[in-house]
């Protein structure tokens, strides 16, 4: 305010002095003031209301030249102000489409939430499964505490460049189109991010100070893609159980599928057999962490072998034992798959699942592999490879996927390796992301039945080998959650891990996270807590205290 008065007063004083001295013509007499010499100010225009600013974005075009990968530009098709309600803050919801380039390729559908009270940052959400839908931007199950919207983030996501029918969660017909496949593999992320940055700038008059990414499963794969491919675009990333080794994992599950449903399904394990297996695993390994609580905390020490459950004579004689064929299935699921060929970046094997894996949550009850294809009866463990192999590998929607040997695929090897080159996020060349100060939180449950926990261990160890522990510790925290499955599990940490609090503190205030606390979301044990330990440590019971309280445990390595 003092500076403002000075600018107003000094020109006026100069005029008065000039007039008093007779300068400027006109001789003596009364002082004459030229009105044009006096600075005038107009009050600044009032900023538009949130509703007006939101509505003004409807129909906005984003030129393809500002998008880092080829498109025909983007258009905002919907813009609506959503009032705050309960835990939801007032925001402008934008929806739009990014036009494809090639013939037959569907557009990328995207959404962007612009909060009225913006915190200056942006959050990119990943998808899941085969995508095909835009994720919910208002709530997220991947962090505890206030949601990104409640925190004031501008939030955006896309459907990865294809639209799945509501009745087909395993829709993969897009895989036959090269542009749509590449969008699904990760290109849609870059295209959507660049469009979102343009629209955020139009709404707020500036770019976000920081941009984060958060995703699980396929969204975790996407988080690793953005670190590897577009490191300058993101300041921090959260990935849950990332499907980063996409094709090795798909082929590994396919090997397990053949063990389950091949030969007429003699190796299939129904719900009662799976319960027999789980009971035996717990009897052998539950107490290794010091607490008998239905969770195998010290999985590294668990040496359970399914052969201990062999039915007399090896034939299937009931639900309280496993036949030889069923034992081979469990061995297959829990063993590392060796391939007769190499995937992108040289991978020739992929890990299996750990004892105490929650197979019951991802297996259907059908013993017979469905012909014609019907992935809905297989459960996720069978449906994911079936759908993808038929459409992406065999290029035949009605093909018999179980006929393909994932370990030795014969004439389909060139196509599998081509897909690996497009899909896999297995590169350890993430130094550019690290060099600009990027931070990464990796969370994985040891009971995951779709993406083996050991896969994250493999990638972590590869980073240690390449970069050394001091540099890895400077940008990565790898948290293991015993008992946690794939968004489910006997300890369900979904929505119970403070990853966003930890990431914000690390990126914005330089406070590196240590051990955190995970909260169980299962209704029967809701509120149960455990330490969230940094790998390779795990929660070890102290020997006394409440079994359901994190304070009764410490993170240990032996």
**Average pLDDT for consecutive 10-residue bins of the chain (558 residues)?**
38 33 40 51 78 97 98 98 91 98 97 98 97 93 94 98 94 97 98 98 98 98 98 98 98 97 96 97 98 97 97 97 98 98 98 96 94 94 97 97 97 98 98 97 98 98 98 98 96 97 98 98 96 98 97 97
Last residue of a domain, one of 384, 405, 423: 423
Regarding whether 409 and 442 lie in a shared domain, the answer is no
Q: What is the residue range of 546's domain?
A: 426-558
Active-site residue, 221 included: no
Q: Return d(Cα 289, Cα 303) in angstroms, integer.
A: 14
Regarding whether 525 and 439 lie in a shared domain, the answer is yes
Residue 201 lies in a domain: no
Active-site residue, 448 included: yes
Residue 476 lies in a domain: yes
Last residue of a domain, one of 378, 397, 423: 423
pTM for the structure as a whole? 0.91
Regarding whether 446 and 401 lie in a shared domain, the answer is no
- Give the pairing of strands 121-125 and 210-216: parallel
Regarding whether 382 and 434 lie in a shared domain, the answer is no
Which one of the listed residues 158, 233, 448, 458 is annotated catalytic? 448
Query: Which pLDDT value is given to residue 47?
Result: 80
Which one of the listed residues 144, 217, 361, 552 is annotated catalytic? 217
Dihedral angle over CA of 124, 129, 134, 138, nearest 10: -60
Active-site residue, 144 included: no
Task: List, as own/partner pairs, every contact residues 409-415 make where C-beta atoms lie below 8 angstroms and the sequence separation is at least 24, other chains included.
Answer: 409/251, 409/341, 413/341
Residue 242 lies in a domain: no
Regarding whether 397 and 260 lie in a shared domain, the answer is yes
Q: Return d(Cα 444, Cα 457) in angstroms, integer.
A: 9
Query: Which pLDDT value is given to residue 140?
Result: 82
Regarding whether 395 and 261 lie in a shared domain, the answer is yes
Regarding whether 513 and 394 lie in a shared domain, the answer is no
Which one of the listed residues 447, 486, 520, 552 is annotated catalytic? 486
Q: Is residue 392 within 8 Å of residue 410, measured between CB atoms?
A: no
Regarding whether 383 and 257 lie in a shared domain, the answer is yes
Quote the number of domains for the chain.
3
Residue 306 lies in a domain: yes
Query: Which pLDDT value is given to residue 41?
Result: 65
- Give the pairing of strands 236-240 and 108-115: unpaired
Residue 293 lies in a domain: yes
């Amino acid at each position: 305010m003092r500076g403002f008065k000075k600018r107003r007063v000094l020109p006026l004083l100069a005029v008065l002095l000039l007039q008093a001295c007779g300068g400027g013509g006109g001789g003596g007499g009364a002082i004459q003031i030229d009105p044009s010499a006096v600075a005038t100010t107009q009050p600044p225009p009032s900023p538009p209301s949130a509703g007006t600013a939101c509505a003004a974005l409807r129909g906005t075009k984003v030129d393809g030249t500002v998008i880092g990968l080829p498109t025909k530009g983007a258009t905002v098709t919907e813009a609506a102000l959503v009032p705050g309600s309960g835990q939801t803050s007032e925001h402008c919801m934008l929806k739009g489409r990014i036009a494809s380039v090639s013939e037959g390729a569907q557009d990328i559908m995207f959404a962007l939430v612009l909060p009225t009270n913006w915190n200056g940052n942006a959050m990119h959400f990943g998808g899941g499964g085969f995508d095909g839908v835009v994720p919910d931007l208002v709530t997220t199950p991947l962090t505890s505490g206030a949601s990104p919207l409640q925190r004031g983030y501008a939030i955006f996501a896309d459907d990865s460049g294809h639209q799945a029918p509501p009745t087909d969660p395993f829709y993969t017909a897009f895989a036959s189109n090269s542009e749509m496949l590449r969008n699904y593999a990760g290109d849609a992320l870059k295209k959507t991010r660049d469009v979102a940055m343009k629209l955020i700038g139009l709404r707020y008059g500036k770019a976000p100070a920081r941009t984060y990414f958060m995703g699980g499963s396929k969204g975790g794969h996407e988080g690793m893609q953005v670190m590897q491919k577009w490191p300058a675009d993101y300041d921090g990333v959260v990935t849950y159980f990332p499907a980063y080794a996409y094709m090795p994992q798909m082929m590994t599950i396919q090997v397990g599928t053949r063990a389950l449903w091949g030969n007429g399904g003699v190796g299939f394990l129904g719900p009662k057999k799976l319960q027999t297996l789980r009971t035996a695993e717990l009897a052998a390994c539950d107490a290794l962490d010091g607490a008998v609580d239905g969770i195998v905390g010290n999985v590294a020490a668990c040496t359970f072998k399914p052969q201990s459950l062999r039915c007399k004579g090896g034939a299937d004689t009931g639900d309280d034992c496993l036949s030889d064929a069923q034992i081979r299935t469990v061995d297959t699921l829990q063993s590392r798959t060796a391939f007769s060929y190499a995937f992108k970046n040289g991978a020739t094997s992929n890990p299996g699942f750990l004892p105490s894996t929650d197979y019951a949550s991802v297996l259907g009850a059908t013993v017979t592999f469905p012909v014609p294809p019907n992935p809905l009866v297989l459960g996720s463990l069978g449906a994911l490879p079936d759908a993808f192999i038929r459409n992406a590998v065999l290029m035949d929607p009605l093909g018999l996927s179980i006929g393909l040997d994932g370990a030795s695929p014969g004439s389909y090897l060139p196509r599998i390796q081509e897909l690996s080159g497009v899909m896999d996020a297995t590169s350890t060349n993430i130094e550019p992301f690290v060099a600009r100060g990027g931070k990464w939180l990796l969370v994985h449950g040891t009971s995951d039945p779709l993406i083996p926990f050991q896969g994250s261990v493999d990638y972590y160890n590869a980073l240690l080998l390449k970069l050394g522990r001091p540099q890895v510790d400077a940008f990565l925290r790898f948290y293991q959650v015993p008992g946690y499955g794939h968004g489910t599990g006997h300890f369900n940490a979904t929505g119970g891990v403070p990853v966003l609090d930890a990431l914000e503190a690390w990126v914005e205030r330089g406070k590196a996270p240590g051990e955190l606390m995970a909260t169980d979301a299962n209704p029967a044990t809701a509120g149960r807590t455990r330490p969230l330990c940094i790998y390779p440590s795990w929660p070890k019971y102290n020997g006394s205290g409440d079994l359901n309280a994190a304070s009764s445990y410490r993170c240990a390595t032996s």
